[in-house]
Chains A and B, each alone.
Chain A
């Protein structure tokens, strides 16, 4: 088989990360680079970071002159399908002459305004999800499409909704097959009644794609059921986990430690963790619960914890850097992930690497990988509490769960994930 050339579109990328997306993109890119020729376009990258085997292009580091040769070749297509008045989609240029630069073409297409340095420089400002995110997504699509025309590749692969429009643009501009990767969906973030622009973009991207890769079967079911995507083109590929330097730290207190780690948003189920902790502590005061992370729910959670009288046994750490997270993992006895909807849950694998048994919700993709983890529905806090108590009290059960997890993670590598993805590439390219 010939070595394929892949253009990847990403949003966050280490070291500029916000959540699991950037880590997953890096993991899969590194592994893919061994199998294909890879270049990655992201809105923002750190200028001097080099990655082995692939090229990372941050639009913030791009010069407008680099796009010159593709300026006239490109036509505004897919946006016109989403919104009927395409001209309104370019109101963001702060150049006074921008209105004249948008030209109607015969057939109702709109040619993009020439990308100016001012537009590119905007990718240098504030964080990836801050400010006018919609504007950033649209600007990214336009520039990425132009940039794509300067490159030779066989497949375009877009990661999560922020890059889906760009993926569709590239597909339309070049005719190459489009793969969209679903790391998380609006369904996870906002629940069953999630609708709106982001939902529409996700649905549109998946519909236009030649293949949809969800990070779990669970998420695949969301794509099919919630977004109405043809199950025939949904091909789940589990994430891998990068090996970490595992170490053990002796706790400075005698109690056992149960850990919740993640953004404090409704999706991650932190309220359920509080409820679980309340139920465990009712019977066993020899446990400490730690909620690590921050988010919009932090303050209400602190209040709820105080109301439940958990203070002194239930600890909030706020945001922790990687070193602190590892320090915490190194002293944790049980990992708990009661997510309401978790596409994958990389952190549970990381916990498994530290030899920590996990109690996870059935609504978590990683339950498909960690076959030995004790699971319960996220709302079934009684069962969750029972699982935790069992792991704290039953050494045999604990050993069994840890041993199974060690086996499971041994096969959960990014190389395995990349091999599956490449198989899909070849099917599409042939």
Chain B
């Protein structure tokens, strides 16, 4: 076949995030000291099932078919949080099986993350390491693989996190391509954090990722409807070594429903990209294929959340700051108790979503925060969380 792409055309790397948090019951004051189970098991099971029917099961089936059909010329990466795997084990083992079967094709690279999808790095290196190790162990146990590339919760990244990932032995780390931090540099190259020698930083291409992840179903978008062929030409026209398309797995079928045509889009995209003479690669391959010749100096933590692409989605207001500060301040007390159940309860309260729901942002981002929240308002989220925390404190002293 005649090559359509220019000689400099980049490769394409695709990564999906799979995560579900443990939502809390409306934990009011009267439950303190009485009700030791904070999570709304029923609601969590219900949402897992809903997302499974709309996204996980059909998307897994679709990708398994595509991966087998392309025999290695189409490959994807996934990061699956510990909390969602626990939920699948408890409520939907069939869904976990479908993920295992997908990984068993040999064409899925799994990434490492914090087991509890937490912001632990910001508060405690020790707790962060514990959670990453726990997630690595889980990947071995469930999928029999050991990830080489790390992605921190919601792509939270800076120089220090990169250094930590290198220390822990990872070869690559994912991050958001944030324009205010890149200062004109392209996200389509691999970078090296200052002072690091081995670890390579792989940056998400925000424009092209969000075209599929968010804008795809927006009928007011000038490019609507987006076809796989059109998108493949955009990829081919991109400069650099690799275009990194990172997004939530739930954007297929859940954030964007089936009737938007999202499944049809994905069914045809692998072939459309191949026909543009572009190669599908995974983050692990990217790290092996390219040199990280340029330095990316990122002091201020970045993330893929909200318009700001910083930490304000989780620690932007006093409610969030107090809640997250107080849960982490219990660390030494919790670990000293040497009670695995208690440690697990405490660690699950670190899941970033708890703080995400406490955001009082308005506008489009505020709407997204509220869309995902199981509570009536960020104030309710704060009150229930703090009451549960008070109960945990009482149990620690008992």
Q: Which of B283-330 contact A (CB under 8 A)?
A: 317-319, 321-323, 326
Contacts of B386 in A (CB 8 A): 311-312, 315
Contacts of B317 in A (CB 8 A): 303
* Residue pair A311, B322 in contact (C-beta under 8 Å): yes
Residue of A nearest to B380 (CB): A318
* A90 located at the interface, meaning its Cβ lies under 8 Å from any Cβ of chain B in the complex: no
Q: How far is the CA of A312 from the CA of B29 in the complex (A)?
A: 10
Contacts of B319 in A (CB 8 A): 302-303, 306
Decide yes or no: A303 and B318 within 8 Å by CB, A253-B394, A254-B394, A311-B386 being known contacts.
Answer: yes
* Residue pair A315, B389 in contact (C-beta under 8 Å): no
* Residue pair A312, B390 in contact (C-beta under 8 Å): yes
Q: Which of A359-391 contact B (CB under 8 A)?
A: none
* Residue pair B389, A312 in contact (C-beta under 8 Å): yes
Contacts of A254 in B (CB 8 A): 394, 397
* Residue pair A302, B379 in contact (C-beta under 8 Å): yes
Q: Of A298, A302, A307, A318, which is in contact with the most chain B CB atoms at under 10 Å from its CB?
A: A302
* A103 located at the interface, meaning its Cβ lies under 8 Å from any Cβ of chain B in the complex: no
Q: How far is the CA of A288 from the CA of B326 in the complex (A)?
A: 16
* Residue pair A327, B30 in contact (C-beta under 8 Å): yes
Q: Of A288, A298, A313, A316, which is in contact with the most chain B CB atoms at under 10 Å from its CB?
A: A316
Residue of B nearest to A303 (CB): B318
Quote the shortest CB–CB distance from B318 to chain A (angstroms): 4
Interface size in chain B (residues, C-beta < 8 A): 23
Contacts of B387 in A (CB 8 A): 315
Decide yes or no: A302 and B326 within 8 Å by CB, A252-B32, A315-B32 being known contacts.
Answer: no
* A299 located at the interface, meaning its Cβ lies under 8 Å from any Cβ of chain B in the complex: yes
Decide yes or no: A311 and B323 within 8 Å by CB, A253-B33, A253-B394, A316-B383 being known contacts.
Answer: yes
* Residue pair A309, B322 in contact (C-beta under 8 Å): yes
* Residue pair A252, B322 in contact (C-beta under 8 Å): no
Which label, helix, strand, loop or mixed, suits the secondary structure of the B interface?
helix
* A324 located at the interface, meaning its Cβ lies under 8 Å from any Cβ of chain B in the complex: yes
* Residue pair A313, B390 in contact (C-beta under 8 Å): yes
Q: Which of A290-309 contact B (CB under 8 A)?
A: 290, 298-299, 302-303, 306-307, 309
Contact of A312 among B34, B318, B326 (CB under 8 A): B326
Contact of A298 among B323, B379, B394 (CB under 8 A): B379
Contacts of B318 in A (CB 8 A): 303, 306-307
* Residue pair A306, B382 in contact (C-beta under 8 Å): yes
Flag B73-94 by CB within 8 Å of A: 1 or 0 each: 0000000000000000000000
* Residue pair B382, A302 in contact (C-beta under 8 Å): yes
Contacts of B390 in A (CB 8 A): 253, 288, 312-313, 315
Quote the shortest CB–CB distance from B155 to chain A (angstroms): 27
Residue of B nearest to A255 (CB): B394
Contacts of A299 in B (CB 8 A): 379
* B40 located at the interface, meaning its Cβ lies under 8 Å from any Cβ of chain A in the complex: no
* Residue pair B29, A252 in contact (C-beta under 8 Å): no
Q: Of A254, A306, A316, A327, which is in contact with the most chain B CB atoms at under 10 Å from its CB?
A: A306
* Residue pair A252, B389 in contact (C-beta under 8 Å): no
Quote the shortest CB–CB distance from B1 to chain A (angstroms): 61
Interface size in chain A (residues, C-beta < 8 A): 22
Q: How far is the CA of A327 from the CA of B389 in the complex (A)?
A: 22
* B28 located at the interface, meaning its Cβ lies under 8 Å from any Cβ of chain A in the complex: yes
Flag A310-343 by CB within 8 Å of B: 1 or 0 each: 0111011110000010010000000000000000
* B238 located at the interface, meaning its Cβ lies under 8 Å from any Cβ of chain A in the complex: no
Contacts of A324 in B (CB 8 A): 30
Contact of A252 among B33, B383, B393, B397 (CB under 8 A): B33
Contact of A311 among B28, B32, B34, B389 (CB under 8 A): B389
Contacts of B30 in A (CB 8 A): 317, 324, 327
Quote the shortest CB–CB distance from B331 to chain A (angstroms): 15
* A251 located at the interface, meaning its Cβ lies under 8 Å from any Cβ of chain B in the complex: yes
Residue of A nearest to B330 (CB): A312
Residue of A nearest to B329 (CB): A312
Contacts of B323 in A (CB 8 A): 306, 311
Quote the shortest CB–CB distance from B73 to chain A (angstroms): 53
Flag B13-57 by CB within 8 Å of A: 1 or 0 each: 000000000000000111011100000000000000000000000
Contacts of B29 in A (CB 8 A): 290, 315-317
Q: How far is the CA of A299 from the CA of B33 in the complex (A)?
A: 25
Contacts of B383 in A (CB 8 A): 302, 315-316, 318
Decide yes or no: A311 and B33 within 8 Å by CB, A253-B394, A302-B319, A316-B383 being known contacts.
Answer: no
Contacts of A317 in B (CB 8 A): 28-30
Residue of A nearest to B32 (CB): A253
Contacts of B397 in A (CB 8 A): 254
Q: How far is the CA of A317 from the CA of B386 in the complex (A)?
A: 12
Quote the shortest CB–CB distance from B255 to chain A (angstroms): 29
Contacts of A251 in B (CB 8 A): 33
Q: Of A288, A298, A315, which is in contact with the most chain B CB atoms at under 10 Å from its CB?
A: A315
Q: How far is the CA of A299 from the CA of B319 in the complex (A)?
A: 11
Q: How far is the CA of A317 from the CA of B27 in the complex (A)?
A: 10
Residue of B nearest to A310 (CB): B322
Flag B360-398 by CB within 8 Å of A: 1 or 0 each: 000000000000000000010011001101100110010
Q: Which of B310-360 contact A (CB under 8 A)?
A: 317-319, 321-323, 326
Q: How far is the CA of A374 from the CA of B319 in the complex (A)?
A: 33
Decide yes or no: A252 and B34 within 8 Å by CB, A309-B322, A317-B28 being known contacts.
Answer: yes
Contacts of A315 in B (CB 8 A): 29, 32, 383, 386-387, 390
Q: How far is the CA of A10 from the CA of B32 in the complex (A)?
A: 40
Quote the shortest CB–CB distance from B321 to chain A (angstroms): 7
Q: How far is the CA of A298 from the CA of B376 in the complex (A)?
A: 14
Q: Of B323, B386, B387, which is in contact with the most chain A CB atoms at under 10 Å from its CB?
A: B386
Quote the shortest CB–CB distance from A315 to chain B (angstroms): 4
Decide yes or no: A306 and B34 within 8 Å by CB, A311-B389, A312-B389 being known contacts.
Answer: no
Q: How far is the CA of A307 from the CA of B394 in the complex (A)?
A: 22
Q: How far is the CA of A317 from the CA of B29 in the complex (A)?
A: 6
Q: How far is the CA of A162 from the CA of B397 in the complex (A)?
A: 53
Q: Of B29, B318, B390, which is in contact with the most chain A CB atoms at under 10 Å from its CB?
A: B29
Quote the shortest CB–CB distance from B322 to chain A (angstroms): 4
Q: How far is the CA of A290 from the CA of B322 in the complex (A)?
A: 18
A-B pairs, 10 with minimum CB distance:
A252-B33, A253-B33, A306-B322, A306-B318, A311-B386, A315-B29, A307-B318, A252-B34, A312-B390, A306-B319
13 contacts between A and B (CB under 8 A): A252-B33, A253-B390, A253-B394, A254-B397, A302-B319, A303-B317, A303-B318, A306-B318, A307-B318, A311-B382, A311-B386, A312-B326, A324-B30
**Beyond A311-B322, A317-B29, 10 additional pairs, beta carbon < 8 A:** A251-B33, A252-B34, A253-B33, A303-B318, A309-B322, A311-B323, A311-B386, A315-B32, A316-B383, A318-B383
- Chain A interface residues (CB < 8 Å from chain B): 251-254, 288, 290, 298-299, 302-303, 306-307, 309, 311-313, 315-318, 324, 327
